[in-house]
Structure 1
Amino acid sequence: MSLPANQLKEPSQESLPSNQLKESGVGIVCSDPDVVVELNVGGQFYTTTMGTLLKHPGSKFSQILSRSAKHYRDAQGRFFIDRPGTYFGPILDYLRTGKVPTECIPEVYHEAKFYQIHLLVKMLEDMPQIFGEQVARMQFLLGVPNYRENLEVLLHLARAEAVAMRLSKVVVCVVHTEEEEAKCVEPLHILEAKKTPVVKFGPWKAGPKTEDFVYCLEKDIKDQGYNVSIQRYHLNRNPYTCFWIFVFTWW
């Protein structure tokens, strides 16, 4: 009869059958597939079997259940994993049934990567939510020179302008091609003369149009918790399609 994890004794290497001694080169507490295992994942409790947890060779569960990790137990003797317990449920269901999760895909994807369940990671990467972000949008942004650095400058300016203000505004120049960049030279000089700070993005060689890039930029800003809206920038009443104003609302 299988015992709960907090009642399991750790047998010596000599007392275990040879097929239970190693899992991916790590000494497992007990790799009998029928042994019941109790887990504490971020304060949420789960009960499963060794066979379920060790179903995918090379996963992180070999390390979690190893002898060297035996001190990672809670007060009741459950194996403790310091990860979000909410998203462990879909991971465990996949290990039990092979059914790919359909909810909270980005969060489950990050957990599958942590637990190194490579087959699940691959299947989640083929789903629209992950494919669109990781393969389409992020791959495009990697081709925009200094994107992350310029994004940080934009946010720094927005915060600097927010002192004792409800709103702060930052002018952003987005140029898709070298031709557009050339057309922006004069208005950039005008803004410089007015001591108006401008953050410039582009040009980039291929990919979405300017409006799509602005959407990407807005998404990344909002994902960091900022309340931002966007409008076209009119310089001396002349609309320049490459210039935008990012308006941050603070309170």
Structure 2
Amino acid sequence: MEFPAVIDLNVGGRHLTTCLSTLTKYPDSMLAGMFSGRHPVAKDKDGRYFIDVDGDVFVHVLNFLRFETVPPVKRAKEVRKYAEYFGLRYLPKAISESYGYIK
């Protein structure tokens, strides 16, 4: 499957747009697998790629992929769970380095 350079996402009802290179930044992650064609990705009725998680949390995952920034401390626990789910092992490490271990 061929993906466009700019990806329109529907993440739990929140519409986000990002680059394919952002989603595939870490080749061993689930996101890279989804947007390389290794895993199927559903589309919504408007043709956006659908990811069934909370968009308000996922935006922090995208910001890490874009800029390597960590989320605010009040979101760190949720973002860590998403990072682990999507196989982004560098994000939990960055959160721990910034805030210590957050369960």
TM-score by length of 2: 0.84
Matched, 1:125 2:96: yes
- Equivalent residue of 1:48, what SS? strand
CA drift at 1:110:
0.7
Number of residue pairs matched? 101
Instruction: Select 1:92's aligned residue among 18, 40, 62.
Output: 62
Does the CA contact (< 8 Å) of 2:27 and 2:33 recur in 1?
no
CA-to-partner distance for each residue in 1:26-72, whole Å, 9 max, x for gaps? xxx33x7xx110111111111011111111121111232226514x1
Aligned to 2:19: 49
CA distance in 2 between partners of 1:94 and 1:132 (Å): 17
TM-score by length of 1: 0.37
Q: Take 1:132 and 1:48, find their aligned partners in 2: how far apart are those partners?
A: 28
Query: Is 2:11–2:55's contact at 8 Å kept on the other side of the alignment?
Result: yes
RMSD: 2.0
Residues in 1 aligned to 2:40 and 2:64: alpha-carbon distance in whole angstroms = 24
The within-5 A match list for 1:23-172 is: 29-30=2-3, 35-65=5-35, 66=37, 68-70=39-41, 72-103=42-73, 104-128=75-99, 131=101, 133=103
C-alpha deviation, 1:131, in angstroms: 1.2
In 2, the alpha carbon distance for the partners of 1:89 and 1:80 equals 14
CA 86–36 in structure 1, closer or farther in 2 if over 3 Å, else same: same
Unpaired segments ≥5 residues, structure 2: none
Gapped runs of 5+ residues in structure 1?
Answer: 1-9, 11-28, 134-251
Structure 1 residues 64 and 132 mapped into 2: Cα distance closer, same or farther (>3 Å)?
Answer: closer
* Residue 127 (structure 1) shift: 4.0
Alignment of 1:197-236 (within 5 A): none
Change (3 A) 1:44 1:90: same
Percent of aligned pairs with the same amino acid:
32
TM superposition outliers: structure 1 runs of 4+ over 4 Å: none
Greater RCO, CA 8 A, separation 6+: 2
